[in-house]
Chains A and B, each alone.
Chain A
């Protein structure tokens, strides 16, 4: 990761000071898009793409009659906007997502990410929907391009609250029925589950040609805990307590979480799933860049 200018990307902790999620999304996405170089690979849906010779059976509405008047040949005009997609955001709101060691907890970070993606897809005329889940589906907004869809999605995201513990298997069974069209599925979670279980659970989402992105949101303290003295740690989901020494947290726990992240990444890639680790002290642009890469691949 290259060092970034502090003025270009906004610290996620600062976003917590913005009360409305739609404003958060606008702040993040506008700042991100304004910083991009103009590129032929990226554009908006009404942008011209190419001409193609008319063949019998083509819709006459797409014939460029101006060209026909000048050349007496019929060409079809194609736009990139026509290659629109469906974005489904799946946000884990289990209790562990409420953990925070600094200004912003993981759920807030996930919400900012989700609403930013929803805003971005709205700009691109993509249909965006959201599923809020923990051990069950708590809220669902069907992907749509209707007017006010972004606000519905933002509203659902804003009202997401931390729930109980995560149970991937149970809600994901139901997700299959929500995903009727192929599109992009974004899962935002801390994935406190065995990597095999996670991949096995989310893998069916790809079967209908969906692109699947796993955004692994973790607090920096979860990756490298810094304990000054033996501490009593309480599990936020199960409320179990374990006394942990600084030495253990530094050595054994660090090795285990690194192995977990590595295993999750390897298994995701093996299953054709995109995986991105997002520490909550890092700006959201990595996530947005990942989304664009996927979106590009679908055009």
Chain B
């Protein structure tokens, strides 16, 4: 028996405390003079004798309590040889079913080696089957029946996940800690180098874990793959589409491959591509003639190879019309419209078309069809327009308000109702201008606008922020950009104009990103990737959105979300290749293409030296490497602190009961 932390035994000196309480303190009572002891008998009176005995029991309990606490902290252990467990072990069969195991007959061979490994299960021992992907799936409980293990192995299906050996090591550590007997792990895999965790320490195994590898891959297996495809999520003009695909090879000779573009299963275009040895080459498709709506795109290379799943790459694309944006301006003012239109339409993928309209003519304008509305330096509005705008915003629409000289006459900002305090003008001659002093760079409107750095503001309307969120302030601390939630929609207020009179922003490079991002933000077209890898998470709703159900349809047509999850879940993890249909709460449909992580296509194996190091992490520091059987007979420490702590708990309870009984007796006597 030994101690892991023997210095904690010094705490045993605390047993002096109960001795002091029970002995010194008890018998140090002040003598009371009494006239005569004639009527007291010189013998230990029965009641005191009884009490002393009981106190001795209490003393013993307290001493034992303190000793056990010190003992528990010192962490005692006894050395137990492997024979202490009766020489038994637990057999763990791990089968890699990641995407790369689809290569040729790798998975079938892995399952066969795993079935063969079940023969190592001795009578009375238990075995467990694991499937290793990005997570470890426990396919059985620890059981003694070999047939049950074999059935579980045969039931393993290939997945599209990326294997993670770090997860496997973590699962093995957990099994080792819970089973407390030596593990014999048989791992059937292609042992990809790309599945190694970033830190080797993540691979460490538990004590007495013997890891046996069954590699099903050759050292140099050629594989070509479609490494990446870059395609726009939305196309507004089929003539302006640019789709780029990269073909790469590992352990491959130089060759020619045909790369084809297909849409909804129909091949649209094919190109021949020279792929260098162990290198990569790219190809571009510059047109995509497609009808309106969502389409399932596919790039594939021909001829295929042993891992034909990575010879194709799915992508989702939507053909749609640009969304109209209503630009309301005072009659006669066109400069702001000119700049705003130029900025908005210079972005080909923005998907917005500007519809300018003089504010005087917009009294009865229907707003529902517009992605958002811009009020540019609008003063007095015709009757009904503001109410119309208010209803539009409250119903979920968005409004961008730019305040200029005409707005200064208003008492309040339209729709957002924040108080207009006045206007501020600066002179160009004296170079008196304001710049942005503070800005929320994470806000979507300013994400790419570089905080409007260098923009000079000569005129701005001073607005009391009230309940609005201030996104940017000028150097005079006047708000420049404000946002307010009104009903279901939002209002963004820009306290200057979009022309180059009140400021010189249109002349700066940040103007176009500002207009583009603001339009995306207000038009509800924030970036949502439609091409993701397996194991990625798709955002279904923001934290504020609750109640409305979201429907997800998997590639096989199943609906994985329960009714409860459909109304509450914020993210969804995609686990297989193919196209996912997402029906969002606002009624919009989305198509998301999911492809396997292309790191799985790199079949380069782990070096033998690394595998040996990994195996040695489970054999303990003193065990010669490569000899797993030695671990069974090597004495190993068996920690006893849990038992000491259990005894502490029991004794503490008894001590409490006993002490409370004594106290109650003394109270009665008093």
Contact = CB atoms under 8 A, between A and B. Distances in A.
A231 B45 CA distance: 12
Contacts of A246: 669
A257 B33 CA distance: 17
A240 B35 CA distance: 11
A228 B665 CA distance: 12
Interface in A219-254: 219, 222, 228-238, 240-248, 253
B45 A235 contact: no
A255 B31 CA distance: 24
Interface of A: 96-99, 106, 190, 192, 219, 222, 228-238, 240-248, 253, 256-257, 260
21 contacts: A99-B34, A192-B35, A229-B670, A230-B51, A231-B29, A231-B32, A232-B31, A233-B32, A233-B33, A233-B34, A233-B40, A242-B40, A242-B42, A243-B48, A244-B40, A244-B45, A245-B48, A248-B47, A248-B48, A253-B40, A257-B39
A97 B34 CA distance: 10
A256 B32 contact: no
Interface string B30-62: 111111111111100101100100000000000
Interface string B328-365: 00000000000000000000000000000000000000
Nearest to B26: A230
Interface of B: 29-42, 45, 47-48, 51, 666, 669-670
Contact of A247 (B31, B669, B670): B669
A233 B34 CA distance: 6
* B29, B33, B42: most-surrounded residue (chain A CB, <10 A): B33
Contacts, number: 79
Contacts of B32: 231-234
Q: Which of B35, B37, B42, B45 has most A Cβ within 10 Å?
A: B35
B29 A238 contact: no
B37 A233 contact: yes
B670 A228 contact: yes
Contacts of A97: 35
The dominant DSSP class at the B interface is: loop
A237 to B, nearest CB: 7
B33 A192 contact: no
Contact of B33 (A99, A248, A253): A99
Nearest to A242: B40
A238 to B, nearest CB: 7
Nearest to B39: A256
A235 to B, nearest CB: 4
Most buried by B among A97, A234, A244: A244
Nearest to B40: A242
A222 B48 CA distance: 21
A110 B452 CA distance: 109
Contact of A192 (B30, B31, B38): B38
Contacts of B47: 245, 247-248
A17 B450 CA distance: 99
A243 B670 CA distance: 17
A236 B34 CA distance: 6
B623 to A, nearest CB: 63
B45 A234 contact: no
A234 B33 CA distance: 5
Nearest to A250: B669
A218 B48 CA distance: 27
Contacts of B37: 233, 235, 238, 240, 242
A231 B28 CA distance: 10
Nearest to A247: B47
A190 to B, nearest CB: 6
A106 B30 CA distance: 23
Contacts of A98: 35
Q: List the 9 closest pairs (A to B, CB-CB), nearest first.
A: A99-B35, A96-B35, A256-B39, A192-B36, A233-B34, A235-B37, A245-B47, A232-B31, A247-B47
Given A244-B45, A245-B45, A245-B48, A260 B33 contact: no
Contacts of A99: 33-35
Given A228-B669, A242-B42, A106 B29 contact: no
